[in-house]
C-alpha cells in the first residue's frame, strides 16, 4: 500500500466525495485507511466506567483505499504515488505528475554474495 499515516488525501468516490483530510490509520490487510473527518458514524454507548452517562459518540470508520488519492503538496491536486531509487540505494516516494520527492525510505541493502 502506497498510502502512509499523516498523508493528506482527497476522497474521490462515495458520499464524502471531495472532502480532504489526513490519514490517521492504515489497515493494509483490509486495504483500508481511516481519514480524519471522513466516513463519520454515530455510535450509541451504554454507561460505563469511561462514560458514566453513556450517550452518542461520533466515530471515524475506515474507508477503502481505492476511494482516496494522495494530495501533491507542491500543486495541491490529487496525484498517484510512485517510487524512485536513488544512486546511493535509497528509495524515495514521488508524485507521478509533478515528480515532487517526498519522504525518504530506508536504503536498500546490497547483497554481499552478489558483489563477489
Both 44 and 86 in a single domain?
no
pLDDT tens per residue, range 21-53? 999 999 999 999 999 999 999 999 999 998 899
Counted domains in the chain: 2
Both 56 and 93 in a single domain?
no
What gap in Å lies between CA 12 and CA 42, rounded to an integer? 23
Element (H, E) at 114: helix 112-115
Both 42 and 99 in a single domain?
no
What gap in Å lies between CA 24 and CA 32, rounded to an integer? 11
Both 22 and 59 in a single domain?
yes
| Maximum distance among all Cα pairs of the chain, rounded to whole angstroms | 69
Both 63 and 25 in a single domain?
yes
pLDDT tens per residue, range 54-88? 899 999 999 999 999 999 888 888 999 988 888 88
Structural domain of 24: 1-71
Q: Tell me, what CATH number does 63's domain have? A: 2.30.30.30
Amino acid at each position: 500500500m502506497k498510502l502512509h499515516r499523516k498523508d493528506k488525501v482527497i476522497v474521490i468516490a462515495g458520499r464524502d466525495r471531495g472532502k480532504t483530510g489526513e490519514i490517521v490509520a492504515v489497515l493494509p490487510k483490509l486495504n483500508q485507511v481511516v481519514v480524519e473527518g471522513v466516513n463519520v458514524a454515530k455510535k450509541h454507548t451504554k454507561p460505563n466506567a469511561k462514560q458514566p452517562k453513556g450517550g452518542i459518540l461520533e466515530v471515524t470508520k475506515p474507508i477503502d483505499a481505492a476511494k482516496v488519492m494522495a494530495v501533491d503538496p507542491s500543486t495541491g491536486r490529487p496525484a498517484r504515488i510512485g517510487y524512485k531509487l536513488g544512486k546511493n540505494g535509497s528509495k524515495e516516494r514521488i508524485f507521478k505528475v509533478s515528480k515532487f520527492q517526498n519522504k525518504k525510505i530506508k536504503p536498500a541493502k546490497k547483497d554481499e554474495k552478489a558483489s563477489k
